[in-house]
Amino acid sequence: MLRKWAVLFLAVSPIVFGFCASHLDSRLEAKRKQMRDKVRQMFYHAYDNYMVHAFPHDELKPLSKSFTDSLSELGNLKLEHLPRGYNGSALTLIESLSSLVVLGNNTEFEKAIHWLSQNLNFDVDARINLFECNIRVLGGLLSAHILATDSASRLVHGSYKKQLLFLATDLALRFLPAFETPSGLPYAWVNLKFGVMPNETTETSTSGCGSLILEMGTLSRLTGDPRFESAALRALRKLWSMRSSLNLFGTTLDVQTGEWIEYSTGIGAGVDSFYEYLFKAYILFGKEDYWKMFHSAYLGVQKYFRHGPWYHEADMRTGKATYWQLTSLQAFWPGLQVLVGDVAAANSTHREFFHVWEKYGVLPERYLLDHQIIHPTEKYYPLRPEFAESTFYLYQATKDPWYIEVGESIVKSLNSYTKVEGGFASIRDVTTMQLEDHQHSFFLAETCKYLYLLFDDEFLANRNYVFTTEGHPLPVIRDWQDRLPETFFLTNRTYFKMNEKKRKTSALSSQVCPAISLGSQKQPIESACHVPDARLDHRCLSDDDCGIDSTTCRLRSCSMAGYCGLWLFL
């Protein structure tokens, strides 16, 4: 059913035939409106149940209609240091703030700000994960602060006195002791009241210390206190200096010695948001350095991990493949590729994820590509947002109605498998659809938000935003830019119009791969910069099978091992 629609819609896609667009548009818009309302209901079902059964604790347990004070457990699989006497920080409410604005619920947003201003207190004996607390709590507060004070929005807060910014500053000051290491790489864990514990583990992940810059940088820009941005940047630079000669980064490392622990690496757990933040920091702060770092890192990924539409893991030192697994977290990658301009590659990877989604009804945490089966133990689906996120980016970039169908399928699955009376429950095992008593805060911060933004353009109409890795929007502000990235206007990302004469060599500098020329009679869908791998097994026999690299627009060649790659220096 879905596929048929896809073919139908693409054949008469408004991009190709502008003249029959209006009829299709109105049908599509009616569909989107209907879906938007469904997502709105989902958000409020999750939110209202949290408020009734769990607030002001951290997260809702939807099956037992109770709560968990999970901020102190996030990222902690072994639960070894569970604090006593910690009673929660209203995590899910903080995570819902920006979603309330996206949904246009200003009344509830103000009410929440009022409560948090009066009651939130970070002087608590709780050992928290720096990364998780940064993206969820600091990011949630900062985004809400900016949205509350943004003159372009219709929120008028006569009584708002920057309370969220004070809370954010108080929290981030409690992060700083974690950065006091010889390497500048922060500890993964810090106690909000007492700082780093004496016996704290020195192991952290690449994303754990390499994706703090958006939130910490934003805080420094808002307060004028440079300590936050400096600490995050110092860690990022140190991490950068640890790359291998192949421009690859491991997954875990030691913050005391600055040495790698786990060399096998990919684009999923432990590394994902590191790549994301290099690029998004470039958009937000306009520093050329971030682009240079991202660019080299992106080429490393495409060269060593990519296998046709999939991404496997490889050893950072040798580039040799290690694990052939698709993980649910990797599904964010196509969304990032859309921002970079590599829409065609994003589309093909997104499609593979959708096949797996269709096979199980949702995405399993881990799927073994070489055997085409689900991982024997990691069969869960905790309502993760990444696939919806990429679907949103791809739709906004292409306006291809097929992505609306994908979104519909996501909404349908979530409602039929995970909705319970007391909220939305995670799936413990996607083969049996057995549920788990947990509604993660990111379901409200991200999953519902990205689905809503897939079906509704209003929030994005007036401003350019960068979404943090937790889905909290930060507006792109000219004053924050060292230099405005040349042609990067986010609201313009939906327009592929390229002046043929001004063909540039970098996908980024031309914003979108200088590919899709409007107005021509030819099929303009496939990026001219990206010829898909010709063969079904995605391995090449000769250079002709490889096409053109979409970041650099250079010809790719076929390696001895049968992989397409870019072997030229830039």
Collect all residues with Cβ–Cβ distance below 8 Å to 414 and sequence separation of at least 6: 42, 362, 383, 424, 447
CB of 114 to ligand NAG, least distance (A): 14
3-state DSSP: the chain helix, strand, coil percent, rounded to 5? Answer: 45, 10, 40
Q: Please identify, using beta-carbon distances, which residue of 18 and 226 lies nearer to ligand NAG.
A: 18
Least Å distance, CB 242 to ligand NAG, is: 26
Where does this chain bind ligand NAG (CB under 6 A)? 10, 44, 47-48, 85, 87, 105, 107-108, 199, 343-344, 347, 351, 398, 400, 489, 491-492, 525-526
In the block, residue with structure tokens 């879906």: 35
Say whether 386 is catalytic. Answer: yes
We find the least distance from the C-beta atom of residue 389 to ligand NAG, in angstroms, to be 17
Name the residue nearer to ligand NAG (CB basis): 197 or 373: 197
Which among 6, 63, 145 is positioned nearest to 437, based on CA atoms? 63
Q: Is 53 helix (H, G, I), strand (E, B) or coil?
A: helix
171/293 with CB nearer ligand NAG: 171
Q: Report the nearest approach of ligand NAG to the CB of residue 10 (Å).
A: 5
Query: Which one is catalytic: 365, 400, 436, 549?
Result: 365
Quick one: 220 or 396, whose CB is closer to ligand NAG? 396
Minimum distance of ligand NAG from residue 107's CB (angstroms): 6
Closest distance between ligand NAG and the C-beta of residue 230, in Å?
Answer: 31
CB 427 within 8 A of CB 382: yes
Catalytic residue among 132, 389, 400, 549: 132
Catalytic pick among 95, 229, 272, 342: 272
- Residue 355 burial by CB count (10 A; 0-12/13-18/19+): exposed, middle or buried? exposed
Name 389's Cβ contacts closer than 8 Å, sequence gap at least 6: 331, 332, 335, 446, 450, 471
Annotated catalytic, 272? yes
C-alpha pair distances (Å), 23 with each of 28, 407, 462: 9, 21, 26
* Catalytic residue selected from 215, 386, 405, 470: 386
- Is 365 considered catalytic here? yes
Q: Which C-beta is closer to ligand NAG: that of 246 or that of 460? A: 460
Which residue type sits at 276? E
State which H helix or E strand residue 7 sits in. helix 2-11
Question: Which CA distances in Å does 484 have to 283, 287, 298?
Answer: 8, 8, 21
Q: Which is nearer to ligand NAG, 99 or 211 (CB)?
A: 99
* Residues with Cβ within 8 Å of residue 52, at least 6 apart in sequence: none
Q: Establish whether 358 is a catalytic residue.
A: no
Q: Which residues contact 352 (CB under 8 A, 6 or more apart)?
A: 309, 310, 326
Task: Give the residue numbers annotated as catalytic, written as ranges.
Answer: 132, 272, 365, 386
